[in-house]
Amino acid sequence: MTAAPTTDGVLVDRYGRVARDLRVSLTDKCNLRCTYCMPAEGLPWLSGPQLLTDDEIIRLIRVAVHRLGVTEVRFTGGEPLIRPGLVGIVSAVAALRPRPRISLTTNGIGLARLAPALRAAGLDRVNVSLDTVDRTRFAELTRRDRLDDVLAGLAGAAAAGLTPVKVNAVLMRGVNDDEAPTLLRFALAHGYELRFIEQMPLDAQHGWDRSRMVTADQILANLRAEFDLSTDPAERGASPAETWLVDGGPARVGVIASVTRPFCGDCDRTRLTADGQVRACLFATEESDLRGALRAGVDDAELARRWRTAMWGKRAGHGIDDPAFLQPARPMSAIGG
C-alpha cells in the first residue's frame, strides 16, 4: 500500500473517494432497547474517562472542518439527545467557518423539548428513527412504551424548522415487514421524508441472518401495491438512499440498501466514535485512536495527519457478501449509526 499523502488537505482514500461527511457518536448509551440493536439489559457502556469531553469533540470536529475538508457533521450514538452538552457542541460546530451542515440522528425521545434550543444553536435538520406506528409493536420492538414521545419529537422538530424531517425505518420479517405502506402514509400525512434501511449485521447479539432480512426489492414491491413510485430526477450523489417520487411527487421515499445494493464506491463518510476512534467504515475492523493522541498533547496538524492515514486505508467495500466477512467487534450503537 502506498503511504497516505502527508500535507493538509481532504480525507482521500487510495480508491480516490473523498470523505466530507463526518458522523460523530456522542455516546454509546441509549434510552431504548430495540431488539435488533441491543439486549434488554443494555451493554457494558463506555466509562466517563473513556468518553471524549465536549471540548475534545469540538476540537476534533474543528480539525475535520478546518484541515480535512469536512462539510457535513451528523451527530449520532447511542442516543445523542441524552448527551448533556449537546446544545453547546452544536453551537460550537455552527460557529466554525466554513460552517458545516449539521444534522442529528435520534430516536426522538426528548426532541419535542430540545428542538427549539437545538435549532437556535444551529442544528439544520434531524433524522428520527421510527420502525412502527403501532403502539403495541413499538413497545415490543423497543422494549419501552414511548411511541407518543417519538411522535411528539417528530412534530416538535418540524415546528422548530429542523427540516426536512426524515424518518428512518428498519423492517424485520415477522415483526413489522407488513408496515411499509402504513409508515409511508404516516410520513406523507405529516410531511416527513421516509427512508427504509436494510437491516445490517451490526447487532450486539450477532443474530442477523441474510436469508431473513427484508430486502429493498421486497420493500419496493410492498410499497408499489399502494403507491406509484417513479424515478427521482434529483442527483443521488453520495447519498446512501436511493429515492423515488411517490405518486408523481413532490413527496419522496428512499431505501438505503446497504446489503443488497451497496454504494461503497460513492461513500463519502468518516466516523468518530464517542471514545475518539476514527473509523473509515461502519464495517471496519480497524480503528485509529485520536483520543490517545489528543490527550498525549499532539497538535492539530498531527491529529489531521493521523485521521488522513486512517482514511487512506479504507477498504473498497464493506464485504458483507464475502465468505470471509467478519462482523465488527463493536455493535452499531457503539460505532454510531
Note whether 37 binds ligand SAM by CB under 6 A.
Answer: yes
202 binds ligand SAM (CB under 6 A): yes
Distance CA 43, CA 28 (A): 9
Determine the interface stretch with ligand SAM among 16-24, 185-193, 194-202, 312-320 (rule: CB under 6 A): 194-202
| Residue 154 binding ligand SAM, by CB under 6 A | no
Kindly tell me which of 227 and 283 has the beta carbon lying closer to ligand SAM. Answer: 283
For ligand SAM, the closer of residues 155 and 293 by Cβ is 155
Query: What span, in angstroms and rounded, lies between the C-alpha atoms of 330 and 335?
Result: 6
Site size toward ligand SAM, by CB under 6 A: 20
287 Cβ partners below 8 Å, 6+ apart?
Answer: 273, 277, 278, 279, 310
Q: Can residue 332 be called a binding residue for ligand SAM (CB under 6 A)?
A: yes
Q: How far is the CB of 202 from ligand SAM (least distance, A)?
A: 4
User: Smaller CB distance to ligand SAM: residue 100 or 337?
Assistant: 337
Binding mask 90-129 for ligand SAM (x = CB under 6 A): ---------------xxx---------------------x
φ, ψ of residue 278 in degrees (nearest 5): -85, 135
Q: How many residues are listed for the chain in this entry? A: 337
Q: Say whether 274 sits in a helix, a strand or coil.
A: coil
Give the residue at shortest CB distance from ligand SAM.
Answer: 337
In terms of Cα–Cα distance, which of 234, 225, 280 is closest to 254?
234
In whole angstroms, what is the distance from residue 310 CA to residue 271 CA? 11
CA nearest to 60, candidates 278, 260, 257: 278
CB closer to ligand SAM, 103 vs 129: 129
CA distances, 151 to each of 31, 107, 123, 165, 254 (Å): 16, 10, 19, 12, 20
Ranges of beta strands (E only) in the chain are 11-12, 18-19, 21-25, 72-76, 101-106, 125-129, 166-170, 193-197, 229-231, 242-246, 252-256, 269-272, 277-279, 288-289
The nearer residue to ligand SAM, 4 or 37, going by C-beta atoms, is 37
Assess 197 for contact with ligand SAM (CB under 6 A): yes
Position among 132, 168, 176, 288 found at the interface with ligand SAM (CB under 6 A): 168
Could you tell me which stretch among 15-23, 30-38, 181-189, 283-291 binds ligand SAM (CB under 6 A)?
30-38
Contacting residue, 124, 193, 203, 268, with ligand SAM by CB under 6 A: 203
242, amino acid identity: E
Closest approach of ligand SAM to the CB of residue 97, in Å: 28
- Please select the residue that binds ligand SAM; options are 26, 200, 241, 255, rule is CB under 6 A: 200
**CB-nearer residue toward ligand SAM: 64 or 169:** 169
CA angle 161/166/168 to nearest 5° reads 150
Provide the binding-site residues for ligand SAM, judged by CB under 6 A.
Answer: 30, 36-37, 76-77, 79, 105-107, 129, 168, 170, 197, 199-200, 202-203, 332-333, 337
